[in-house]
């Protein structure tokens, strides 16, 4: 058990990739608390891990303030923002360290820190670049980070480079790759598919929340070029991307793919579904700060095709542990899928290598050790 009293802060009550990491980080931290800007399944999951969870009464509407929105759009929410900041400042005083797990959480925690004056860690799960954030948001984040963050944790060199390029201080950065621990189950692919009600022919999968920049539409386009191949789209529009989800379903209907592309919604059994597909596709059209699903597929022994941007080339060792295709290029993706599906046996050495790499570079134990040490050092004032 870890003795520091940490206040973990997140803006959302939903459980996306960043929140899955938070759920691992809080393990064994029974002295700590979590403050969320809204209700949702994350509150229960954190409380199940022994944290006391406080949910703001004021956050309604904030999580839907988009990453590329101008601050003007936040004006109607100003009262709520001020109230949350005041709540944060009050809570921070009762803790040793504040740990902001999202960009919105960091912005408010940094402002609260003007009065709370506690060591402040920002676990930055994003790429700070024009593709992801508007200019005002980038400037605000960087100003606040340089002024108030004690450390900024990023999951990859790609995320570190973007932070520095945006004007962030290099000395703040601590690169801690995301860690996972998923063991494949000892069941054949056929049997898994039967259990899960999935088709038996060639099957590819994409496992992300539905969002334009995650590029599910590119996979749909690619599958239109590959008759006989089925696809599962796992994930839901968690963060206000319902229009994109509807558009994706319209695209599938318009291309006559409704019988081949199966929308499974948000699932809690991703490791099983992942092990059931022939190929895992990671089609993001903008750079990703990490990509947990890449490592999940590597651990499951499933071939990966990912877009060549952000952290993916690093995780896949520039093609040694998985295939890379240009972002947004449905034809290239279709060709890569065709190659992998045609001769799966050829990939066996690559899969074995990928699994070893995932275990050695992206282990959960290593991530927890690095973050635990960082929290201790930051508390002791030794890390700055």
Which stretches of the chain bind ligand UDP, using CB under 6 A?
16-18, 20, 207-209, 234-235, 266-267, 270, 290-293, 296
The owner of tokens 């972002």 is 327
Half-sphere exposure of residue 148: CA atoms within 13 angstroms, side-chain side: 24
Identify the H or E element spanning 373: helix 364-380
Q: What is the phi/psi pair of residue 380, to 5°?
A: -80, -5
Smallest distance, ligand UDP to C-beta of residue 118, A: 26
Round to whole Å and give the CA distance between 142 and 309. 22
Output 54 or 131, the one with its CB closest to ligand UDP.
131
Please, what sign has the CA dihedral across residues 202, 340, 189, 328?
negative
Comparing CB distances to ligand UDP, the nearer of 5 and 267 is 267
Q: How far is the CB of 209 from ligand UDP (least distance, A)?
A: 5
Least Cβ distance, residue 225 to ligand UDP (angstroms): 25
CB of 291 or CB of 303, closer to ligand UDP: 291
> How near is the Cβ of 211 to ligand UDP at its closest, in Å?
8
- In whole angstroms, how close is the CB of 131 to ligand UDP at the nearest point? 13
Torsion angles phi and psi, residue 52, rounded to 5: -85, 130
Nearer to ligand UDP among residue 233 and residue 340 (C-beta): 233
Q: Pick between residue 114 and residue 246 the one whose CB is nearest to ligand UDP.
A: 246
Interatomic CA distance for residues 146 and 169, integer angstroms = 6
Q: Give the β-pairing of 97-100 and 6-10.
A: parallel
* Distance from C-alpha of 7 to C-alpha of 32, rounded to nearest angstrom: 6
CB of 17 to ligand UDP, least distance (A): 2
DSSP string, 123-142: E--S--STTTS-HHHHHHHH
């Amino acid at each position: 058990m870890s003795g520091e009293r940490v206040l973990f802060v997140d803006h959302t009550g939903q459980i996306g990739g960043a929140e899955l990491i938070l759920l691992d980080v809080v393990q064994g931290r029974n002295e700590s608390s979590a403050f969320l800007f809204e209700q949702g399944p994350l509150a229960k999951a954190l409380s199940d891990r022994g944290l006391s969870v406080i949910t703001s009464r004021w956050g309604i509407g904030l999580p839907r303030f988009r990453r590329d929105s101008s601050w003007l759009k936040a004006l109607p929410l100003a009262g709520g923002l001020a109230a949350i900041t005041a709540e944060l400042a009050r809570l921070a005083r009762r803790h040793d360290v504040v740990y902001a797990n999202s960009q919105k959480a960091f912005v408010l925690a940094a402002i609260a820190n003007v009065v709370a004056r506690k060591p402040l860690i920002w676990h930055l799960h994003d790429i700070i670049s024009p593709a992801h954030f508007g200019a005002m948001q980038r400037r605000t984040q960087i100003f606040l980070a340089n002024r108030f963050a004690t450390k900024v944790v990023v999951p990859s060199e790609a995320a570190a480079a973007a932070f520095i390029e945006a004007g962030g201080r290099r000395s703040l950065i601590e690169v801690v790759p995301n860690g996972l621990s998923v063991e494949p189950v000892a069941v054949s692919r056929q049997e898994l598919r039967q259990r899960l009600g999935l088709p038996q022919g060639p099957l590819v999968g994409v496992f992300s929340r539905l969002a334009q920049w995650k590029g599910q539409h590119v996979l749909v386009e690619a599958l239109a070029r590959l008759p006989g191949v089925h696809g599962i789209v796992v994930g839901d529009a968690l963060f206000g991307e319902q229009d994109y989800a509807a558009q994706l379903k319209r695209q599938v209907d318009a291309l006559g793919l409704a019988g081949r592309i199966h929308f499974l919604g948000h699932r809690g059994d991703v490791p099983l579904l992942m092990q059931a597909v022939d190929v895992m596709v990671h089609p993001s059209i903008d750079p990703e700060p990490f990509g947990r699903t890449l490592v999940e597929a590597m651990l499951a022994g499933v071939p990966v095709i990912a877009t060549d941007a952000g952290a993916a080339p690093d995780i896949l060792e520039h093609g040694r542990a998985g295939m890379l295709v240009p972002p947004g290029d449905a034809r290239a993706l279709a060709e890569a899928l065709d190659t992998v599906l045609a001769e799966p046996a050829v990939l066996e050495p690559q899969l074995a290598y990928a699994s070893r790499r995932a275990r050695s570079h992206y282990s959960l134990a290593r991530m927890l050790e690095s973050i635990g040490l960082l929290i201790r050092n930051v508390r002791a004032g030794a890390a700055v």
